[in-house]
Amino acid sequence: MSWHDISLTVNGRKYRGHVPARLTLVDFLRDHLRLTGTHTGCEHGVCGACSILFDGKAMRSCLIFAVQADGATITTVEGLAPDPAGLSVLQDCFWETHALQCGFCTPGMLIAAQALLNHNRAPSDEEIRDAIGGNLCRCTGYKQIIDAIKLAASRLQGANDPVGPMSGADNG
């Protein structure tokens, strides 16, 4: 099996890696970089738990080899908050509406929702369902997730910064 040198940017930090060709990106993120917030649920591209932002688009990191990420810019759940102690508006809204239970699908849900909000600040219910339609959740029945995304959209519409993920009040 061939081995490859890669370099990529994850959550704003540059990393280099030496990886076998068959290593998936999710295994690279979890096992090599120890970014364990991205989860594996099926490893065949259905459940969405391993979703990441890959050059700005939500993708399944179980269906991408690490070598294919050479030169890419990636955001994982650990990179959504504006600083290590804070939360993004979206994360704060997930907390506010209790948009999770066991928390296992949550990182992928957050990524899918963030990808939507990055280009659509006033999504309809149907657009929200479409955006998270590839992410399976077994706990919530999706209702409080959809509520969270709607709440985040309304908060972001009222914010001064029209683009960035913003720190929410960490005030549980």
Q: What's 148's DSSP letter? A: H
For another protein, which is the closer residue by CB, 69 or 87? 87
List the beta bridge partners of residue 6.
17
Q: Phi-psi bin for 129: left (phi > 0), alpha (psi -120 to 50), beta?
A: alpha
The answer to whether the Cα torsion of 99, 100, 103, 105 is positive or negative is: negative
Closest approach of another protein to the CB of residue 68, in Å: 17
Among 142, 154, 155, 167, binds another protein (CB under 8 A): 142
Please list, in sequence order, all residues whose beta carbon lies within 8 angstroms of the beta carbon of residue 12, skipping any fewer than 6 positions away.
79
> Does the protein bind another protein through residue 7 (CB under 8 A)?
no
Q: Which is nearer to another protein, 8 or 24 (CB)?
A: 24
CB 38 within 8 A of CB 26: yes
Q: What is the DSSP letter of 79?
A: G
56, 103, 120, 124: residue in contact with another protein (rule CB under 8 A): 103
CB of 8 to another protein, least distance (A): 18
Examine residue 37 and tell whether it contacts another protein (CB under 8 A).
yes
- Cα distance between residue 129 and residue 141, in whole Å: 12
If binding is defined by CB under 8 A, does position 141 make contact with another protein? yes
Q: Of 14, 16, 44, 57, which one interacts with another protein (CB under 8 A)?
A: 44
Structure tokens at 95: 């907390």
Q: Is 19 in the site for another protein (CB under 8 A)?
A: no
Which residues form the interface with another protein (CB under 8 A)?
Answer: 20, 22-23, 30-31, 34-44, 46-47, 49, 76-78, 80-81, 87, 91-92, 94-98, 100-107, 110, 125, 128-130, 132-146, 172
